[in-house]
Amino acid sequence: MTPLITPQELAALDDVTILDVRWRLGGPPGIEAYRQAHIPGAVFCDLDADLAGPPGPAGRHPLPEPAAFQAAMRRLGVSGSRPVVVYDEADSTAAARAWWTLRYFGHPDVRVLDGGLRAWTDAGLPVTAEERRAEPGDFTAVPGGMPLLDADGAAEIAARGVLLDARAAERYRGEVEPIDPVAGHIPGAVSAPTTENVDATGRFRGPESLRERFAGLGVGEGAEVGVYCGSGVTAAHQVLALELAGVRAALYVGSWSNWVADPSRPVAKGPSPRG
């Protein structure tokens, strides 16, 4: 089953949980956009509060504890036996974090609305400002449904496989760092900006196009692949794009914000993997 769904396919579903995961680094809060207009029946999922643990040395968006994630999903109406569709504004960056986290904790049927709310409205489908109170769900969080990396695992994949850095190229090179205290990249990582996974409308490129993109970055058949970004959000988008290309990749959830929390870890700068 493809992890994507079209607006028309979503509109045809009768029994589905829809999560609005609109989010932007630095704000404004996505709940404001949700209250103005959202897909009928959708409930708002807060990326910072529902899809991540408290920020700290583990990263700015570390993996939530299973009990906390389970409680959040049940509050939002998520059940293990009911399909879940997640969406954001357009490019699926935040929605992909919801997709990955639900899949990691064992939900069997999660899909991302390709193109987000923009694709939904472009298709002429209705929106509403009415806020829905979800009936509590029965989802049980069982960790381990998706490959996961810590800092040591990321370093190992950088040495023996392909570690993709999903941040903007200038952050990879260490020219700028607007968020974290240290600029640069993990030695051995390859620059692979997430923005190149989608077209101008925010929809994902086709599977063949994505396969060609990742092959050009060194992702060959049988390669061990890992992905990181600043805090494990855009990297989840990269994992989703790789999934569309037929490649299972591991996510370093702590990402750069966890890597640089330990000053003993090496940092590379410049356009080449080893700096």
Judge if 31 and 83 occupy the same domain.
yes
45 is known as an active-site residue:
no
pLDDT for 25 equals 86
Judge if 99 and 154 occupy the same domain.
no
> Residue 44 maps to which CATH number?
3.40.250.10
Residue 237 lies in a domain: yes
Average pLDDT over residues 163-175: 98
Judge if 152 and 116 occupy the same domain.
no
Tell me which of 102, 141, 229, 260 is the catalytic residue: 229
Judge if 163 and 207 occupy the same domain.
yes
Residue 135 lies in a domain: no
Residue 265 lies in a domain: no
Residue 112 lies in a domain: yes
Judge if 180 and 86 occupy the same domain.
no
Judge if 103 and 44 occupy the same domain.
yes
Domain tally, the chain: 2
pLDDT tens digits along 84-107: 999 999 999 999 999 999 999 999
Residue 31 lies in a domain: yes
Residue type, 169: A
Residue 50 lies in a domain: yes
Judge if 178 and 241 occupy the same domain.
yes
Q: How far is CA 257 from the centre of its chain?
A: 16
User: Domain of 215?
Assistant: 148-259
pLDDT tens digits along 2-40: 999 999 999 999 999 999 999 998 888 999 999 999 999
Residue 132 lies in a domain: no
Judge if 37 and 72 occupy the same domain.
yes
Residue 249 lies in a domain: yes
Judge if 116 and 180 occupy the same domain.
no
Residue 111 pLDDT class (50, 70, 90 cuts): very high
